[in-house]
């Protein structure tokens, strides 16, 4: 299954398509307000999508709420460390709104919350991690192909990796010898001074070594040095691993996005976790 396309709606960035069966407003340009709300609804209806999904700040949320969008998750300090951000949804098909595997999602969340925060990793604990650039896209794409059956963005394609590396996405990896065995990325929003910690992948035979946690700690240091105030993630709600990683790193739970994302061959709910990495 091909990932959904990322494109422009006015001056805003959206993703839409049949894979996740949704329209996702990834980055709102304030100049597109208020008309973009109707544009999103019309696009969703014309394509027969079952969900509209937006990332907006508190100041913009009331306009979306007035048109039937409801908050599913919040990130305190998402915008410049002081204004809350919201992930809001409007369902165009009532069936999409019904929770699937709700007991499993609840158990995973309980498990994540039960884990004690891990000790802060020192610089010495983070040796062996490295930044990845355009010269690493072949091995990075191969890693993602090995780990994911499907993914919401085309990270298995080298051209796409080079494109996002040239814009606002920083990739990091861990090697065993010369082999890339784990990777993740930080998608930087320089305007809002926040970063999405995402694209975590570890080869199956190398799991259980805490590599995702080390990558997360390393990425926090890197983005903090760039003036990023708040880090967040959108993690698979049915998968304990990444929820535990973020809970153990003192991230706060922000909410669950129901039936939100096509990943690993099926549509899954996602949990939002966040952390202010630079205090006000």
pLDDT digits 0-9 by tens, 167-202: 999 999 999 999 999 999 999 999 999 999 999 999
- Residue 167, C-beta contacts closer than 8 angstroms, at least 6 positions apart: none
> Among residues 280, 277, 276, 278, which one has the least CA distance to residue 75?
276
Handedness of CA 127, 129, 134, 136 (dihedral sign): positive
Which pLDDT does position 125 carry in this prediction? 62
Q: Please report where in the chains the tokens 């929003």 appear, as a residue.
A: 189
Digit-coded pLDDT (tens) for 73-97: 999 999 999 999 999 999 999 999 9
Query: For the segment 145-162, what is each residue's pLDDT rounded down to a tens digit?
Result: 999 999 999 999 999 999
Q: What is the overall mean pLDDT for the chain? A: 95
- Write the pLDDT tens digit of every residue in 240-269: 999 999 999 999 999 999 999 999 889 999
Q: How confident is the model at residue 124 (pLDDT cuts 50, 70, 90)?
A: low
Distance of CA 263 to the CA centre of its chain: 12
Task: Give me the pLDDT at residue 122, please.
Answer: 58
- What's phi and psi for 140, nearest 5 deg? -70, -45
Q: Please determine, for residue 203, whether its predicted confidence score (pLDDT) is greater than 70.
A: yes
3-state secondary structure of 154: coil
Which domains, ranges and CATH numbers included, belong to the chain? 5-97 (3.40.630.30), 102-276 (3.40.630.30)
User: Quick one: pLDDT at residue 40?
Assistant: 99
pTM of the model: 0.95
User: What does the CA dihedral 259, 75, 3, 14 come to, rounded to 10 degrees?
Assistant: 110
pLDDT at 11: 98
């Amino acid at each position: 299954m091909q990932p959904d396309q990322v494109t422009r709606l006015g001056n805003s960035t959206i993703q839409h398509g049949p894979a996740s069966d949704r329209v996702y407003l990834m980055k709102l340009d304030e100049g597109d307000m208020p008309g973009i709300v109707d544009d999103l609804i019309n696009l969703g209806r014309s394509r027969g999508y079952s969900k509209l999904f937006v990332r907006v700040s508190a100041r913009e949320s009331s306009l979306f709420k007035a048109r039937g969008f409801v908050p599913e998750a919040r990130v305190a300090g998402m915008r410049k460390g002081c204004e809350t951000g919201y992930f809001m949804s409007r369902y165009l098909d009532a069936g999409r709104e019904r929770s699937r595997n709700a007991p499993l999602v609840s158990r995973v969340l309980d498990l994540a919350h039960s884990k004690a925060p891990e000790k802060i990793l020192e610089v010495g604990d983070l040796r062996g991690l490295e930044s990845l650039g355009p010269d690493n896209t072949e091995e990075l794409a191969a890693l993602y192909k090995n780990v994911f059956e499907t993914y919401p963005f085309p990270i298995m394609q080298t051209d796409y990796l080079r494109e996002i590396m040239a814009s606002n996405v920083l990739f990091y990896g861990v090697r065993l010898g010369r082999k890339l065995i784990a990777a993740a990325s930080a998608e930087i929003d320089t305007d809002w001074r926040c970063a999405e910690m995402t694209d975590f992948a570890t080869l199956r035979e190398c799991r259980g070594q805490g590599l995702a946690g080390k990558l997360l700690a390393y990425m926090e240091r890197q983005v903090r040095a760039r003036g990023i105030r708040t880090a967040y993630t959108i993690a698979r709600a049915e998968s304990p691993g990444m929820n535990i990683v973020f809970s153990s790193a003192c991230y706060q739970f922000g909410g669950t996005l129901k039936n939100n994302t096509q990943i690993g061959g099926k549509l899954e709910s996602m949990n939002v976790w966040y952390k202010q990495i630079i205090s006000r």
